[in-house]
Amino acid sequence: MDIPREPPSKKKRYIMIGAAVVVVLAITAALGRLEPAAPPVDRATLMIDTVRRGEMVRQVRGPGTLVPEQIFWISAVTGGRVDRVYVRPPQAVQAGTLILDMSNPDVQLEALSADQQLSAAEATLVSLKTNLETQQLNEQGVVASAQSDYQTAKRQADVADALLAKGLISPQDAGNAKDKVAENAIKLKVETERLDVMSKTVDDQLALQKDQVRRLKDIADFQHKRVESMQVRAGSDGVLQDMDLQPGQWVQPGTLLAKVAQPGKLKAVLRIPENQAADVQLNQPCAVDLRNGIVQGHVIRIDPSAQSGTVGVDVSLDGALPPGARPDLSVDGTIEVERLKNVMYVARPAYGQPESTVGLFKLTPDGKEAARVNVKLGRASVTTIEVIQGLSVGDKVIVSDMSQWDSHDRVRLR
């Protein structure tokens, strides 16, 4: 038997709907206040370092090559055609070893012309000397004759004066004898002065011609050296390098023909980035990695200008070189520029620059998560960097690249 039921009232139904809405809104608000879950990161793929305090060694690093400390460059003094090549790299040579022969008819002709001019100047000098000496001897004879005439006239004047005193000759004859003495005295004086002038000019004329001979001799010697330079020889002992000329090839003056290197003493030429080269100084210690060994050295030279964003630094190698070390071998060099005492430092982050503020992920005490913190960095080295603010000694931070997690402030380590 059915029992009739009364339908629920509309008021009660509205109350139930309102309560449901309130519950839904409360749940939504609670969920909105929850932080998003931290993304997981594989711990094995991360580089984690601990902040330390103590002495930090600042270093700069750059690639480079081994080059001989002493290189003798051989260049063409004059242009010419290569006739014969006697030595090829990397053959050992000694000072004076004939490397190649060259020829140039124009240079040989200029040498012959210089010899001809020198011979003509020497012949002119001999002829001039003979003529001047002959003229000087002739003038000496004239002076001697004038001296004799003067003495004769003087004696005749003395006789005339004696005869005039006795009345044996006329006063006119005695006066003529005195005039003859004066005339011969003047002739003697003139010829004597002419001889003096001639003697002085002889030396000057000979000196000028001798200077001309010396100049032509220097020119001839220079031309002969040009001819001799076409027989190219090694200037020092060592190993011949960079010589690829072939017979029949024409080279211009100043062309690099070859170079002779002394392989027993090598140095490293490093290319240091220009933003780090400002701290490099002479005599700073350097470790050079030769791939099969590390050799200690020190800085001996710094290029005054930068090229392609790097500065060249020459490093003298102090230790013994390992087997296989040879010129043009690629190396890496690490230069110690400074030692910082009692500073806080950590391994250099992949994206951290000196004197900047970066966000690093610091591990929580339990090591299960890492949260981003702002860290102020200071001076940097090759593998470490100074920490000025944001971390404490003993903190562990992730120093590997975390750029893919830039949108998260926390990560979960697994």
> Do 393 and 365 share a domain, yes or no?
yes
Q: Which of 345, 343, 354, 341 is nearest to 276 (CA)?
A: 354
Which strand ranges, in their side-by-side order, compose the sheet holding 80-85?
231-233, 98-103, 80-85, 250-251
> What CA–CA distance (Å, rounded) separates 317 from 391?
40
CB-count burial class (<10 Å; 0-12, 13-18, 19+) for 28: exposed
Query: Among 259-268, 305-314, 335-344, which stretch is predicted with the lowest mean pLDDT?
Result: 259-268
Strand-pair category, 410-413 with 40-41: parallel
The pLDDT-based confidence of 244 (bands split at 50, 70, 90) is confident
Which pLDDT value is given to residue 335? 92
> Do 131 and 185 share a domain, yes or no?
yes
Quick: pLDDT tens for 6-32. Answer: 555 555 666 667 666 666 666 665 545
Please, what's the largest Cα pairwise distance for the chain? 221
Q: Could you tell me if 380 and 354 are in contact, meaning their C-beta atoms sit under 8 angstroms apart?
A: yes
Would residue 33 count as lying in a domain?
A: no
Q: Could you tell me if 390 and 375 are in contact, meaning their C-beta atoms sit under 8 angstroms apart?
A: yes
Mean per-residue pLDDT for 265-283?
A: 88
In 253-398, DSSP assigns E strands to 256-261, 266-273, 285-289, 294-302, 310-317, 330-347, 357-363, 369-380, 384-389, 396-398
- What is each CA distance from 96 to 78, 79, 115, 224, 315, in whole angstroms? 19, 21, 26, 18, 31
Q: Phi/psi at 142 (nearest 5 deg)?
A: -65, -40
> Do 97 and 237 share a domain, yes or no?
yes
Q: Which of 37, 35, 38, 36 is nearest to 413 (CA)?
A: 38
> Do 49 and 161 share a domain, yes or no?
no
Would residue 166 count as lying in a domain?
A: yes
The CATH number of whichever domain residue 346 belongs to comes to: 2.40.420
> What CA–CA distance (Å, rounded) separates 118 from 316?
51
> Do 95 and 237 share a domain, yes or no?
yes
Q: Which H or E run contains 253?
A: none
Quick: pLDDT tens for 70-106. Answer: 888 888 889 899 999 998 887 888 888 899 999 999 9
Q: Dig out the tokens for 111 from the structure.
A: 């040498």
What is the span of the domain harbouring residue 242?
Answer: 71-104+230-259
The pLDDT-based confidence of 1 (bands split at 50, 70, 90) is very low
> Do 192 and 224 share a domain, yes or no?
yes
Q: Could you tell me if 231 and 206 are in contact, meaning their C-beta atoms sit under 8 angstroms apart?
A: no
Quick: pLDDT tens for 161-182. Answer: 777 777 777 788 777 777 787 8
> Do 195 and 114 share a domain, yes or no?
yes
Quick: pLDDT tens for 346-358. Answer: 998 887 788 889 8
> Do 409 and 349 share a domain, yes or no?
yes
> Do 251 and 392 share a domain, yes or no?
no
Which pLDDT value is given to residue 11? 59
The CATH number of whichever domain residue 237 belongs to comes to: 2.40.50.100
Instruction: Specify the number of domains making up the chain.
Output: 3
> Do 137 and 163 share a domain, yes or no?
yes
Q: Dig out the tokens for 22 from the structure.
A: 């309130």
Mean per-residue pLDDT for 127-133?
A: 85
> Do 164 and 81 share a domain, yes or no?
no
